[in-house]
Structure 1
Amino acid sequence: MKKNIFIVTYYWPPAGGPGVQRWLKFVKYLSKDDFDIHVVIPENPDYPSIDDSLMGEIPEDITMIKVHIQEPSRALKKLFGTKTKKLQRGFIEKSPGALEKILLWIRGNMFIPDARKAWADKVMQRLENDSAFAKADTLITTGPPHSVHLTGLWLKNHPSLSHIKWLADFRDPWTTIGYHKDLKLTKAAAKKHLQLETQVLQTADQIIVTSPSTKAEFSNKTKKSITVITNGYDMKTNSSKAPDGKFTLSHIGTLLADRDPLMLWKTLSELVTEDPEFSQDFELQLAGNVSKTVISSIKVAGLGSHLKLLGYVDHDHAVQLMFESQVLLLIEINSLMTKAIIPGKLFEYLASRRPIIGIGPEDSDIEQILKETDAGHYFTYDGANLKQQIRQFYQSYKKEKLEGNSSDISKYHRKQLTQQLVDLLNS
C-alpha cells in the first residue's frame, strides 16, 4: 500500500535559488509507486528571485495544494520601495541606513519567527480540515522560513492528528543563523525564537539537517533522532578537462556584504600588478545578486577592469557557467556561526569538476567535504597560502593542465540522497 505524505514548503518553482531545489529533487526521485505525494505551497507568493526553468521539473503525478498568502513584503514595498526587495534577498549592508535599520527591526520583532507566520497559520487551518491529510502517514515541514515548522508543531499537538509522523527538515540553523544578529532582536523576541525552536526540536518525531555541525548543535537541544541528509547535485558530471577561454575565477550565487573577502581581492590585485601576463588572462566573474559593498571592494582593489557582472541567471545557465570556469569560488561568512552552512551550490561545483577555492571560518563543514572529495583548497580569512595556490592554478592553466577532481561523488547525487529519505519514511 502506498504511503501518504504531505510536504509543506514555502519555496517551490518558479522560485529561484538553492532552497527550492532540495524538495523539488526529493519529490522527483521518490517512487510514485510507493508514495502518494501532496505538496503544500503558497498561492501567489512574492519570491525574491524567479527561475521559470525549474517549472518543467515538477512531476505530473503529485498533488499540489495551494494556500493563499498575503506577503508583508508587498505592503512594505509600497511604503519603502526597492529597499524591501534588497532585504528580501538577504542584502544587509555593513552600515545600514536609518530606513534599513527600521525595516530590520520590524522584520526581527514584529514577525516571529519570520514574515510567513500568517501563511503557516493558514496552512494549519487548511490541513486540519483536509480529509486526505487525516489519513496521512507522514508530514514533512522544511525551513527556512522556520514558521513552516509551526505548522507541524500545531498539527502534531492536535488530538485527532497526532498519529501522523512529523519530519522537520532544517536547511539552515534557526537561532544561530548568521543574520539573526542583524535583526535588532529585543530580549523578548530572542527568547521567543528560542522557545519556538525548542518546542519544534522536542516535538518532531524526526529531525533532518543538512550538515554535521547543525546536527551537533541540535543534539544539545533535543533527544529526538537527527539525520544528516546534505543537499546534492542532479546533473551529469562534467569532464575534469580544463575549458577554453580566459583564466576565469567564478562565483555563482548570491554574494552578500558579509561575504566580502578583502584578502582575496588584495591577493588578485597583487597578482595582476606583478604579472602582466596574468593580468591579460585573468577574469573575475560573478553570477547572481551581488552586494554593492562587494562590488565596491573589488573596484577599490583595482580589479574593476577584470570584473564581469552577470546578475541573476537561471539554474541551467548557472551550471553552464560552472562548467566553463577555470576555478570556482565558494565564499562563506567569516563567523563560527556559519561553520554549519554548506551552500547547495557546493555539490554542483563538485559535479562541475572544476577546481574550487573555498573561503570561510575555521573548521567548517565545507572544508571537510573539499578534503574528502579532493575537489579544491580551503582558506580562512587570513589568506595564508592563497596567493601561492592561485599562482599554481594559473601555471597549470597556462600549460593546459588545470584539471578538476575525478573522485567518486555519487553519494551526493540527489537520487542517492533520496534513498536516505526513503529509509526515514519507512522507519
Structure 2
Amino acid sequence: MMRRVLIVAYDFPPRGATGVIRVTKFARYLPEFGWQPVVVAAAVRGGMLDEALLAQLPPELEVLRVENRFAPGNAAAGRHAASPTLGARLRQSLRRLFIPDPQLLWVPGAVRAASQRIEQGGIDALMTTAPPYSVHVAGLWLKRRFPQLPWLMDLRDIWSENPTIPDPLTYKLQAAWERACLRAADHVTTATDGQRGLILRSFGIPPTHISTITNGFDPADVPALVPPPDRGPLRLTHVGSLVGNRAAATQGLFAALERLVAQGVTADELEMRLVGVFDAEVYQWSQPLVERGIVQLVPFMPYAQAVGEMTAAHVLLLITANDREGRLSHPNKLFEYFALGRPILALTPEGDVARLVREADAGQAVPPLDVEQIVAALQTLLAEHRARTLGSVAAEATRFARFERRELTRQLAARLDELV
C-alpha cells in the first residue's frame, strides 16, 4: 500500500541550492519504497536555478509553491553574498532580526498550505528538511495542529551550535527553537554521525530518537569513469560555494599557491578551478593568482555541468570550514568525488571528512590553514603529475554502495515506516 509523506522544504527544484540535491533524491526514490511525497516549497523567484533537476522528479509529484515576498532568490542566495553590497548588508541585519532566519516570514504561508493539504486527507506522515531552519518551525506548528501526524525532522547542518551564530542572545534563541523542535519531532535524522553526537550531548534526547542518514551520490548522475586529461597543467577543481567560514578557510590555500609561485610554479604546470558562489574575500585573496592564470573563479552552474567540471579534473579539491561545522559536517560533493574516482585533496580540520577520505584511501586530508602541509601536498601532486604516476582511486562497485541515493532513501522510508 502506497502511503503519502508531506515534505516541507524551502529549496526545491528548479532551485539549484546545494541542499536541494538531498531532498530531490528522496522525492525521486521514495515511491520505490512505498511512500509518495507531496512537497511544500518556496515559489521560484530568481536565484540560482537548475531546470535539469526537474527531470529527476516523478512526473506525478505534487508540489505546492508558497510565496515569500521577502526573499526573491533562494535560501542560499539569501544567506550569502558575493560582494558587500547594500542588499548583502541588509540581509545581514535581517538575519539578526528574524530567528532562526529570514525565511521565518515564509512560515505562515507554508503552514497554511500544508494544513489545507493535510485536511484534504491522505497524508500519513510529515517531514521537514533544513536549513533554512525556519522550515522546522513550520514543522513544529504543524505538529501542534496535527498531533496525530508523525513528524520526521531532517537536519542537514548544525543548527544552534553553528559557529557562525553572532552573539550569546542569538545562540539562546536559536537553541530554544532547536530544543522545541527536537522534543516535538517523532524522529530526527542528521547528515553525519558528528551532528548526531552533538545533538545527543547538547539536548539530551534519547539515542533511539535520532539516526544518521548521510549525504551520498546517485550512480545515474556520475558519468562512466574516464581518465583525466593526460596533457597540460595539473588541474584541481573545487565545486561548491565558498562563503562564510568556508571562505575564510581558503586563506591557507591561496598562501600556499603564492609560495609555489615564488618557487617558480606557473600556470603551465598548475591550474585551479573554483566553481560556485564566493564571498568578496575570496575574490580579494585570489586576485594575484587569477592574474597569473593559476586560479580561475567560475560562476555557479547547473548540477550536470558541475559534474562535467569534476570529471575534467586530475584532482578534486574539498574545502570545509576550519571550525566545529567543518569537523562535524561533510558536504554532499564528498560522495560524488568518491564516485568519480579522482584523488581528493581535502582541506579540512580533523573530523568526519578527514576520517572518510582516509578510510576510503581516496587522497590527502590536511588542515585548511596549515600552509606548510598544503604546499607539501601540492608539491607531491605536481611531482606525480609530471611523472604521470597520478592515479585514480576508482574502487570496486560495492565499496561505496552504502552511500548511493537509492539506499539512503530506503533508510529514510524505513524510518517513516516505523513512525506510522
Asked if Structure 1 and Structure 2 have the same fold, meaning a TM-score greater than 0.5 normalized by the shorter chain, the answer is yes
Residues 140-181 of structure 1 deviation map (CA, whole Å, 9 limit, x = unaligned): 0011111111222122222xx212110000111111224322
1:384, CA displacement in angstroms?
4.2
Residues 266-323 of structure 1 deviation map (CA, whole Å, 9 limit, x = unaligned): 22233233245x6522112111122231122123468632222221111111101101
1:85, CA displacement in angstroms?
10
Report the residue type matching 1:232 in the other structure.
Answer: G
Q: From the superposition, tell whether residues 208 and 370 of structure 1 become closer, same or farther in structure 2 (CA, over 3 Å).
A: same
- 1:144 and 2:131 correspond: yes
2:195 paired residue among 199, 204, 214: 214
What is the alpha-carbon distance in structure 2 between the residues aligned to residue 264 and residue 293 of structure 1? 13
- 1:388 and 2:376 correspond: yes
Partner of 1:368: 355
Q: From the superposition, tell whether residues 178 and 404 of structure 1 become closer, same or farther in structure 2 (CA, over 3 Å).
A: farther
1:101, CA displacement in angstroms?
5.0
| 2:82–2:280 contact (8 Å) kept in structure 1 | no
- 1:204 and 2:185 correspond: yes
1:349, CA displacement in angstroms?
1.3
Q: From the superposition, tell whether residues 256 and 132 of structure 1 become closer, same or farther in structure 2 (CA, over 3 Å).
A: same
- 1:307-322 mapped onto 2 (5 Å cutoff): 307-322=295-310
Residues 88-124 of structure 1 deviation map (CA, whole Å, 9 limit, x = unaligned): 251387xx68885554222212x22122223222222
Alpha-carbon RMSD: 2.6
- 1:264 and 2:253 correspond: yes
Stretches of structure 1 that go unaligned for 5 or more consecutive residues are 78-83
Normalized against structure 2, the TM-score is what? 0.88
| 1:6–1:133 contact (8 Å) kept in structure 2 | no
SS in 1 for 2:238: strand
| 2:290–2:296 contact (8 Å) kept in structure 1 | no
Report the residue type matching 1:130 in the other structure.
Answer: R
1:229 paired residue among 207, 213, 216: 213
Residues 63-98 of structure 1 deviation map (CA, whole Å, 9 limit, x = unaligned): 22223x133135xx9xxxxxx9996251387xx688
Report the residue type matching 1:176 in the other structure.
Answer: E
Partner of 1:175: 160
Q: Percent identity?
A: 27
Normalized against structure 1, the TM-score is what? 0.87
Is 149-158 or 196-205 further displaced after alignment?
Answer: 149-158
2:410 paired residue among 412, 415, 419: 419
Partner of 1:80: none
Is 387-396 or 299-308 further displaced after alignment?
Answer: 299-308
1:426, CA displacement in angstroms?
1.5
Q: From the superposition, tell whether residues 25 and 102 of structure 1 become closer, same or farther in structure 2 (CA, over 3 Å).
A: closer
1:33, CA displacement in angstroms?
7.0
- 1:317-336 mapped onto 2 (5 Å cutoff): 317-336=305-324
2:277 paired residue among 272, 278, 289: 289
Residues 329-368 of structure 1 deviation map (CA, whole Å, 9 limit, x = unaligned): 111121234322211111111112111111122x221111
What is the alpha-carbon distance in structure 2 between the residues aligned to residue 48 and residue 262 of structure 1? 27
SS in 2 for 1:293: helix
Residues 253-274 of structure 1 deviation map (CA, whole Å, 9 limit, x = unaligned): 1112532432322222332332
Report the residue type matching 1:152 in the other structure.
Answer: G
SS in 2 for 1:329: strand
| 1:14–1:50 contact (8 Å) kept in structure 2 | yes
Report the residue type matching 1:172 in the other structure.
Answer: D
Partner of 1:349: 337
What is the alpha-carbon distance in structure 1 between the residues aligned to residue 118 and residue 352 of structure 2? 42
What is the alpha-carbon distance in structure 2 between the residues aligned to residue 256 and residue 314 of structure 1? 18
Report the residue type matching 1:91 in the other structure.
Answer: A
| 1:201–1:222 contact (8 Å) kept in structure 2 | no
What is the alpha-carbon distance in structure 2 between the residues aligned to residue 65 and residue 306 of structure 1? 45
- 1:403 and 2:391 correspond: yes
> Number of aligned pairs?
406
SS in 2 for 1:31: helix
What is the alpha-carbon distance in structure 2 between the residues aligned to residue 86 and residue 314 of structure 1? 14
- 1:1-400 mapped onto 2 (5 Å cutoff): 1-32=1-32, 34-43=34-43, 45-46=44-45, 48-67=47-66, 69-74=67-72, 88-91=78-81, 101=89, 103-109=91-97, 111-130=98-117, 134-158=121-145, 161-181=146-166, 187=169, 189-220=170-201, 221-224=203-206, 225-234=209-218, 235-236=221-222, 238-239=224-225, 241-244=227-230, 245-256=232-243, 258=245, 259-260=247-248, 261-276=250-265, 279-300=267-288, 304-361=292-349, 363-380=350-367, 381-400=369-388
SS in 2 for 1:167: strand
